[in-house]
Amino acid sequence: MNKLQNLYEALANVEGYIYPNEIALNWDLLIVMYPYITGLVAGAFILASLNRVFDIKALRPTYEISLLTALSFMLVATMPLISHLGQPFRFYEMLITPHLTSAMAIFGFVYIWYLMVVLLLEIWFDYRYDMVIWSEQKKGFMKFFYKALTLWVSDKSPESRKTDDKIGYFITVIGIPSAFLLHGYVGFIFGSLKANPWWSSVMMPVIFLFSAMVSGIALVMFIYMVINFIRRKKNDILCLDTIAKYLFYILILDFTLESLDQIHRIYEADESFDILKLLVHGKLFFTFFIMQIGVGTIFPLAVLGFFQFKQPSEKIRKILYLIVSSAVLIGIFFMRWNVVIGGQLFSKSFYGFTSYKVDLIGGKDVWLSLLWFIIPFFILAFLLWLLPPWKKAKHVEG
Amino acid sequence: MPLQVKRLLIVFAILIGTMFALKYFLTPESWREFGPYRGNALKEIAAQEAKYIDTKTCAMCHDLIAELKNNGEHNSIQCENCHGPGYKHIDDQENNEMKIPKGREFCIRCHARNAARPLNIIKQIDATEHNIGEDCITCHNPHQPWL
Q: Each residue of B37-72: pLDDT tens digit?
A: 889 999 999 998 888 888 999 999 999 999 999 999
Q: Are B80 and B16 in the same domain?
A: no
Residue B145 domain flag: no
pLDDT of residue B119: 85
Report the predicted TM-score, pTM, of the whole model to 2 decimal places.
0.85
Enumerate residues 6+ apart whose C-beta is below 8 A from A105: A94, A98, A99, B36
Q: Tell me which of B26, B46, B66 is where a domain ends.
A: B46
Residues A80 and A381: beta-carbon distance below 8 Å: no
- Closest residue to A160, CB basis, from B4, B19, B22: B4
Chain A residues touching residue B35 (CB < 8 angstroms): 101
Q: A156 at the B interface (CB within 8 A)? A: no
Among A2, A5, A6, A7, which would you mutate to test the B interface (most chain B Cβ atoms within 10 Å of its Cβ)?
Answer: A7
- Rounded average pLDDT per 10-residue block, chain A, 398 residues: 67 81 87 95 92 90 96 94 84 82 81 88 95 94 95 92 93 90 89 92 94 96 96 94 96 96 94 94 95 97 95 94 97 96 93 83 80 97 96 78
pLDDT of residue A231: 95
Q: Could you tell me the pLDDT band of residue B137, with boundaries at 50, 70 and 90?
A: very high
CA of B126 vs chain A CAs: smallest distance (Å): 10
pLDDT of residue A3: 63
Domains in chain A (CATH in brackets) are: 27-389 (1.20.1630.10)
- Measured CA to CA, the distance from residue B147 to residue B68 in angstroms comes to 9
pLDDT of residue A112: 86
Q: Are B67 and B94 in the same domain?
A: yes
pLDDT of residue A138: 93
Q: Are B61 and B107 in the same domain?
A: yes
Nearest CA in chain B to A15: B115
Number of folded domains that form chain B: 2
Q: Are B97 and B123 in the same domain?
A: yes
Q: Could you tell me the pLDDT band of residue B118, with boundaries at 50, 70 and 90?
A: confident
pLDDT of residue A18: 85
Q: Which domain holds residue B37?
A: 3-46
Whether the predicted interface score ipTM is above 0.85: no
Q: Are B117 and B67 in the same domain?
A: yes
Residue B144 domain flag: no
Residue B147 domain flag: no
Give A346's DSSP letter. B
pLDDT of residue B132: 87
pLDDT of residue A362: 60
Enumerate residues 6+ apart whose C-beta is below 8 A from A26: A344
Percent of chain B with pLDDT over 70: 99
Q: Are B31 and B59 in the same domain?
A: no
Q: Are B84 and B26 in the same domain?
A: no
Q: Are B60 and B39 in the same domain?
A: no
Q: Are B72 and B133 in the same domain?
A: yes
pLDDT of residue A363: 67
Residue B42 domain flag: yes
Q: A163 at the B interface (CB within 8 A)? A: yes
CA of B127 vs chain A CAs: smallest distance (Å): 8
- Measured CA to CA, the distance from residue A28 to residue A33 in angstroms comes to 9
- Measured CA to CA, the distance from residue A251 to residue A256 in angstroms comes to 8
Angle of the B3-26 helix axis to the A121-137 helix axis, nearest 10: 120
Q: Are B75 and B129 in the same domain?
A: yes
pLDDT of residue B65: 94
